[in-house]
Structure 1
């Protein structure tokens, strides 16, 4: 075999190895994003219309999320929030509309306490999706009912459902996510 042929074979093998490495990296990134974002991965895919754009969006969310100064809650703060949640739930019996408003505010306050921005619902949801993807649908459902309630279109049963959704999000945010928190 001539030197030119040997060099050509080596170059071809290297090109194939680079292509395989790139494909493996893309596949591993896709698997990681699917695992991290769960149903939010599919939502981003549907909204963007193509996989690469959706994955770029989700990776951007991760980059933005990594810039946050997230904090774990100390025991006293956690207990205060738990006590406030109990009061909000008790209020539901007599004032379901007001209880839903208070639940929304309490969840928003808890987000702020943890270090999440609280301006703009869509921005909140995008940043929450990075560490709280499993409960994000609950937040979306609760917020939708909250908005309907603001327009006077939510029934008492809807408000009860919103409270259940808010409780799920509240408990997730109240939990100790030390792996993502920075002091």
Structure 2
């Protein structure tokens, strides 16, 4: 082969390799945007650059994959649902207590499912992998709860917090049954 042919082949190989790397990068970006939704945009906005934010999201996925998430037994799901209904009913007479109980119930449900419950930011980070669409609700409820602790939240704010807690609660409750059942079905189908 002539030197010109060898150089031409090398150039073509380098161009194809570069195109493959770019394609992989853009496909990963699209996957992260679809998976994390509004959390993707939030993470990018808080970061110095998009690539660093995307690496952080991929790291969240890695950490999340190490969790031993558990499905909820139907009886356990029913108990959580009844407890939520009881807390909502208490809101009329004692909004402060109901919001505190809602926060505790959501935290208990996270623990029951296998999520760590220490450290709010760590919690939110790991929840974002499967609950990105409802995570903003949790963040808002948490912010209102903190404002309430400082005496800065109205009853209407507390009502809003309850609505936000309920959104994540329902997502955790439903996700605990549906996703894990799907996982078992896939595992059994692979045998």
Q: Which TM-score tier does this pair reach, normalised by the shorter chain?
A: over 0.9
Q: 2: distance between equivalents of 1:19 and 1:67? A: 32
Q: Shift in Å at residue 180 of structure 1?
A: 6.7
1:1-183 residue pairs with structure 2 within 5 A? 3-175=2-174, 176=177, 177-178=179-180, 179=182
Q: Shift in Å at residue 85 of structure 1?
A: 0.3
Where does structure 2 lack aligned partners over 5 or more consecutive residues? Answer: none
Count of matched residue pairs: 181
Where does structure 1 lack aligned partners over 5 or more consecutive residues? Answer: none
TM-score, normalising length from structure 2? Answer: 0.92
Distance change (3 Å), C-alpha of 1:180 and 1:106: farther
TM-score, normalising length from structure 1? Answer: 0.96
Asked whether the equivalents of residues 70 and 180 of structure 1 are also in contact (C-alpha less than 8 Å), the reply is no
Q: 1: distance between equivalents of 2:105 and 2:71? A: 17
Runs of 4+ in 1 over 4 A off after TM superposition: none
Q: Shift in Å at residue 4 of structure 1?
A: 1.1
Name the SS of the counterpart of 2:92 in structure 1.
Answer: helix
Q: Aligned-residue CA RMSD in angstroms?
A: 1.4
Name the SS of the counterpart of 2:45 in structure 1.
Answer: helix
Name the SS of the counterpart of 1:153 in structure 2.
Answer: coil
